[in-house]
């Protein structure tokens, strides 16, 4: 592990607090040191209050801030004296401690101080850095962790036996501090992590890098790396199997959840271990990470399945106020399956990503610790304590109402532009994860967010469609919503000139591709936890065709009929199929300013009148269609299937 200290960068950060910001970010840059809000740092600094009196403050990392991105206002300014006095109490409950920390602040609007604030306060150095570095955990979560720490660091660290983080740890450390000497580089907390300290930000940071580097070097010497098997090819039934599993887990949870499957070399190597069950079921990684594993018999797969609870991790570190802490349920967070690999679950794509990060580090640590003689868990009673504490914290924090389609997965065709893009955005806006298909490669990069998967796909190619569904199942776990939007509108051609090859081309894209997609999506949709939804973007041309558009109108009419039959066939599976009939949506790619002006002139209208040439005299936009499509997938329409809904501002031929 290399120091990232850079003199030029560091000069930009002037003063104690700014220096604290700088090296905190350096720690946060390395996920093997600090992962997703784990770890905390502090600096002690003088301050003059309103009465002109000097006071010592502890600026300690506040709740909701991540070291990687922290700013000055992310540190809670807390009076040092009351914190030091608190450390002399015999005992202090977690609730009392949280209150005392808050009232010791000099800024009522600042975030709550880290739960480890009192420990920071009593460490007799200006700067204090604390991490749960992977290499330190791998070393200390072993049967003879203390001996290994002594072997690696000799007398340069203070070794703190394991106790629950909180006031007990403060008392234990306070009792050990008389042993600190000038040559002490830091503290190793068994089964927890490392503290370093110094008179400057750089000194404390460099000591952390040096300690963790020593632990890493030791692991490199002692742990023989396993050769990684290559990932296997995908199986044909895999996506239906994953969708069925996600459906079951969602039922256990009580709401739809996302599920990401990882079949990369690291995951495959881990799930292929002979000792998978014992290795993976060994309890929390650290009290803060709280990786709890257990079997889930109700899931009904005979291969190894474990549940992890990362709730405590979020709570202990207070990563963010909106963390998905309503998941106080028996649904798993991580599933290890010899065929599937590592599967991570969460209420949003961001959550499945965080669980993935945490479990990747867990796998590394378990592998290393197993090689050192066995990964050792914490006593069961402490796990209970952590969870109880978290539960109390969770009660203090009122959870917001989830978005209407939170945890659901939607696939939209023709999603790079126009109505398809508007549908994708509306679905994302209602909380769904979206798979966007389009023949235009810009779909792969149009929005960069974890809940959007853009796939370049020619919908008329069945192999590409099934590959896209495979990716959907692996990335998000199944399918709840299918929006059939992709289509072509050929140049106006009277029937007398209509070639069969042109007709066929329209049919292949507007009709046949949708049959293929519906057929292949059905095994996924039927496992949708709230029932599958299919929305077909048809056309006003179905109820009111126009001359010159025979192929288009016939294809959309046939597609509508296909949807009506699907509504009948799939109703028993709880899948709803509805059609929307837009008309005159002019904010799409084909309607350039010039085309619009030409068409308006053709009808002897102004562009404005041409756009609003309907009963309500309103313009119909892509956004309007997207909103209707997304609403059709929500609770309001949960009793509606086989419906055809015009969205055209009112058309006298349709009404
Ligand atoms: Zn900690």
Report the distance separating Cα 26 and Cα 471, nearest Å: 35
Residue 130 alpha carbon to ligand 1 centre in Å: 7
Q: Are residues 324 and 381 in the same domain?
A: yes
Q: 343 pLDDT band (50/70/90 cuts)?
A: confident
In a domain, 401, yes or no: no
Q: What order do you get walking across the sheet with 409-413 strand by strand? A: 452-456, 433-438, 409-413, 481-484, 533-537, 576-582, 644-647
Please tell me the distance between residue 194's alpha carbon and the centre of ligand 1 in angstroms: 8
CA–centroid distance, residue 289 to ligand 1 (Å)? 9
Are 145 and 190 in contact by the 8 Å Cβ rule? The answer is: yes
Residues 382 and 267 in one domain: yes
Domain presence at residue 398:
no
Between CA 93 and CA 174 the distance in angstroms is: 17
Beta-carbon contacts of 226 under 8 Å, excluding residues fewer than 6 positions away, are 269, 367
Give residue-wise pLDDT tens across range 205-246: 999 999 999 999 998 888 765 554 444 445 557 888 889 888
Give 288 Cα–ligand 1 centroid separation in angstroms: 6
Same domain, 350 and 371: yes
Q: What is the pLDDT of residue 221?
A: 86
User: What contacts 24+ positions apart, CB below 8 Å, involve 174-182?
Assistant: 174/87, 174/88, 174/122, 177/122, 177/123, 177/124, 180/124
**Helix, strand, coil shares of the chain as percentages rounded to 5?**
45, 15, 40
What is the maximum alpha-carbon separation in the chain?
99
Read out DSSP for 73-114?
A: GGEEEEEHHHHHHHTTSS---HHHHHHHHHHTBS-TTSPPBP
- Rounded CA-CA distance 487/425 in Å is 19
In terms of domains, do 21 and 53 share one?
yes
Q: Which of 192, 222, 252 is the C-terminal boundary of a domain?
A: 222
Cα dihedral 176/177/178/179 (nearest 10): 70
What is the Å distance from ligand 1's center to 347 Cα? 26
The whole-number pLDDT of residue 550 equals 96
CATH number of 494's domain: 3.40.50.720
Tell me, what's the pLDDT at 224? Answer: 65
Question: Which DSSP category does 125 fall into?
Answer: S
Ligand 1 centroid to residue 223 C-alpha, Å: 25
CA of 287 to the centre of ligand 1 (A): 8
Residue 471: name the closest of 229, 251, 263, 244 by CA.
Answer: 263
For residues 528-541, average pLDDT? 97
Query: Any alpha helices (H) in 283-345, and if so which ranges?
Result: 311-317
Q: Using H for helix, E for strand and C for coil, what is the string for 587-604? A: CCCCCCHHHHHHHHHHCC
Higher pLDDT, 382 or 495: 495
Among 477, 510, 507, which Cα is nearest to 411's? Answer: 477
Q: What is the mean pLDDT of the chain?
A: 84
Whether 354 and 249 share a structural domain: yes
Contact 431, 406 (CB under 8 A): yes
Rounded distance from Cα 163 to ligand 1 centre (Å):
11
Distance, C-alpha 241 to centroid of its chain: 22
pLDDT band at 296 (very low <50, low <70, confident <90, very high): very low
CA distance 528 to 438: 24
**pLDDT score at 305:** 36
Instruction: Classify residue 246: in a domain, yes or no.
Output: yes
Same domain, 81 and 168: yes
Residue 228 resides in a domain: no
CB-CB neighbours of 195 under 10 Å: 27
| pLDDT value, residue 365 | 78
Q: 470 is written with which tokens?
A: 């495979």
Pair (246, 353) in one structural domain: yes
Distances (CA, A) of 450 to 30, 41, 350, 445, 610: 21, 29, 6, 12, 40
Contact 247, 527 (CB under 8 A): yes
The reply to whether 552 belongs to the active site is yes
Closest CA to 385 of 63, 92, 165: 165
CA separation for the pair 581, 509 (Å, rounded): 18
Residue 166 CA, ligand 1 centroid: distance in Å: 9
Mean pLDDT of 105-129: 93
Distance CA(576)–CA(535), nearest Å, equals 8
CA neighbor of 486 nearest in space, from 579, 415, 586, 563 = 415
Instruction: Tell me if 95 is assigned to some domain.
Output: yes
Same domain for 315 and 189: no
Q: What are phi and psi of 279, to 5 degrees?
A: -65, -45
Position 81 scores a pLDDT of 96
Of 174, 190, 222, the last residue of a domain is 222
Q: How many domains does the chain have?
A: 4
- Average pLDDT for residues 442-456, to the nearest whole number? 93
Look at residue 557 and tell me whether its pLDDT is greater than 90: yes
* pLDDT tens by residue, 71-98: 999 999 999 999 999 999 999 988 888 8
Supply the CATH number for residue 128's domain: 3.40.225.10
Average pLDDT of the segment spanning 602-611: 92
pLDDT at 653 over 90: yes
Residue 437 and residue 417 in contact, taking contact as beta carbons nearer than 8 Å: no
Q: Is residue 553 part of a domain?
A: yes
Query: What would the pLDDT profile of 359-400 be if each residue is shown by its tens digit?
Result: 787 788 778 887 787 776 554 334 333 333 333 343 334 455
Ligand 1 centroid distance, CA of 188 (Å): 11
pLDDT (average), residues 438-446: 94
Give the Cα separation of 71 and 111 in Å (integer): 12
Residue 513's contacts (CB-CB under 8 Å, 6 or more residues apart) are 413, 459, 460, 465, 486
pLDDT of 396 reads 39
Q: Tell me: do 491 and 452 sit in the same domain.
A: yes
CA distance 429 to 630: 9
Give the pLDDT confidence score for residue 253 in this predicted structure: 72
575 C-alpha to ligand 1 centroid (Å): 47
84 CA distance to ligand 1 centroid (A)? 19
Distance of CA 467 to the CA centre of its chain: 23
Cα 48 to the center of its chain, rounded Å: 43
Residue 64 pLDDT grade (very low, low, confident, very high; cuts 50, 70, 90): confident
Same domain for 248 and 184, yes or no, is no
Q: Which of 162, 552, 603, 610 is catalytic?
A: 552
pLDDT for the residue 381: 37
d(CA 363, CA 344): 13
Please compute the mean of the pLDDT values over residues 102-115 and round it to a whole number: 91
120's CB contacts (< 8 A; 6+ apart) are: 40, 42, 58, 60, 114, 128, 130
Which residue spans within 281-332 are E strands per DSSP? none
Quote the Cα angle for 386-392-394, to 5°. 100
* 213, 168: one domain: yes
Task: With a cut of 70, say whether residue 299 has pLDDT above it.
Answer: no
Q: What is residue 360's predicted lDDT score, i.e. its pLDDT?
A: 81
Cα–ligand 1 centroid distance for 259 (angstroms): 29
**At 291, is the pLDDT very low, low, confident or very high (cuts 50, 70, 90)?**
very low
State the number of CA atoms in the 13 A half-sphere of 631 facing the CB. Answer: 9
Instruction: Kindly give the distance from the C-alpha atom of residue 344 to the centroid of ligand 1, in angstroms, as a whole number.
Output: 24
Write out pLDDT tens, residues 141-194: 887 889 999 999 988 999 999 887 789 999 999 999 999 998 899 999 998 889
pLDDT attached to residue 319: 30
Does 436 lie in the same domain as 465? yes
- Give domain status of residue 231, yes or no: no
| CA distance between the termini of the chain | 71
Question: 302-314 pLDDT, tens per residue?
Answer: 333 333 333 333 3
Q: Among candidates 396, 390, 427, 393, which has minimal Cα distance to 409?
A: 427
Please indicate, yes or no, if residue 323 is contained in any of the structural domains: yes
Domain containing 574: what range? Answer: 409-585+622-644
Last residue of a domain, one of 362, 393, 424: 393
CA distance 468 to 487: 18
């Amino acid at each position: 592990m290399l120091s990232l200290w850079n003199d030029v960068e560091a000069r930009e950060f002037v003063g104690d607090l700014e220096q604290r910001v700088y090296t905190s970010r350096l720690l946060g840059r390395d996920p093997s040191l600090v992962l997703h809000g784990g770890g905390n740092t502090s600096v002690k600094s003088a301050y003059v209050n309103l009465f002109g009196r000097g006071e010592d403050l502890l600026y300690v990392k506040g709740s909701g801030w991540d070291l990687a991105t922290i700013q000055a206002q992310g540190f809670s300014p807390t009076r040092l004296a009351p914190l030091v006095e608190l450390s002399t109490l015999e005992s202090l409950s977690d609730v009392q401690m949280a209150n005392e920390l808050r009232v010791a602040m000099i800024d009522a609007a600042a975030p709550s101080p880290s739960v480890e604030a009192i420990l920071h306060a009593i460490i007799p150095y200006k700067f204090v850095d604390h991490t749960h570095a992977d290499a330190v955990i791998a070393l200390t979560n072993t049967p003879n962790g203390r001996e290994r720490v002594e072997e690696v660091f000799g007398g340069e660290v203070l070794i703190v036996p394991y106790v629950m983080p909180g006031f007990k740890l403060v008392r234990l450390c306070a009792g050990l501090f008389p042993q600190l000497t000038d040559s002490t580089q830091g503290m190793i907390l068994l089964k927890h992590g490392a503290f370093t300290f110094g008179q400057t930000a750089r000194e404390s940071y460099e000591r952390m890098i040096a300690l963790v580097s020593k632990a890493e070097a030791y692991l490199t010497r002692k742990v023989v790396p396993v050769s990684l098997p290559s990932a296997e090819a995908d199986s044909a039934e895999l996506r239906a199997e994953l969708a069925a599993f996600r459906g079951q887990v969602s039922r256990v949870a009580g709401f739809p959840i996302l599920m990401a499957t990882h079949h990369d070399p690291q995951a495959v190597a881990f799930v292929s271990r002979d000792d998978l069950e014992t290795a993976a079921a060994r309890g929390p990684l650290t009290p803060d990470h709280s990786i709890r594993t257990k079997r889930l018999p109700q899931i009904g797969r005979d291969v190894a399945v474990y549940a992890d609870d990362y709730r405590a991790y979020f709570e202990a570190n207070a990563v963010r106020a909106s963390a998905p802490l309503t998941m106080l349920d028996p649904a798993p967070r991580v599933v290890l399956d010899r065929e599937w690999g590592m599967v991570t679950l969460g209420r949003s794509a961001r959550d499945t990503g965080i669980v993935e990060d945490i479990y990747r580090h867990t796998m590394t640590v378990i592998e290393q610790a197993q090689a050192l003689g066995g990964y050792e868990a914490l006593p069961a009673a402490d796990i209970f304590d952590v969870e109880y504490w978290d539960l109390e914290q969770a009660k203090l924090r009122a959870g917001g109402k989830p978005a209407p389609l939170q945890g659901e997965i939607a696939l939209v065709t023709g999603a790079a532009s126009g109505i398809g893009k508007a549908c994708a955005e509306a679905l994302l806006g209602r909380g769904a994860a979206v798979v966007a298909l389009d023949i235009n490669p810009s779909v792969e990069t149009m929005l960069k967010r974890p809940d959007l998967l853009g796939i370049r796909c020619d919908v008329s190619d069945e192999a590409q469609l099934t590959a896209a569904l495979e990716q959907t199942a692996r990335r998000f776990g199944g399918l709840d919503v299918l929006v059939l939007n992709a289509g072509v509108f050929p140049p106006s051609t009277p029937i007398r000139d209509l070639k069969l090859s042109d007709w066929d081309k329209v049919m292949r894209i507007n009709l046949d591709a949708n049959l293929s997609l519906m057929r292949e999506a059905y095994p996924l949709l039927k496992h949708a936890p709230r029932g599958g939804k299919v929305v077909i973007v048809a056309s006003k041309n179905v109820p009111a065709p126009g001359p010159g558009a025979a192929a288009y109108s016939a294809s959309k009419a046939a597609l509508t009929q296909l949807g009506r039959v699907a509504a009948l066939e799939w109703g028993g599976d709880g899948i709803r199929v509805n059609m929307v009939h837009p008309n005159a949506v002019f904010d799409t790619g084909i309607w350039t300013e010039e085309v619009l002006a030409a068409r308006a002139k053709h009808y002897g209208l102004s562009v404005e009148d041409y756009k609003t040439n309907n009963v309500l005299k309103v313009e119909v936009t892509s956004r309007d269609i997207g909103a209707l499509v997304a609403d059709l997938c929500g609770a309001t329409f949960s009793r509606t299937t086989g419906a055809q809904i015009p969205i055209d501002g009112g058309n006298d031929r349709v009404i």
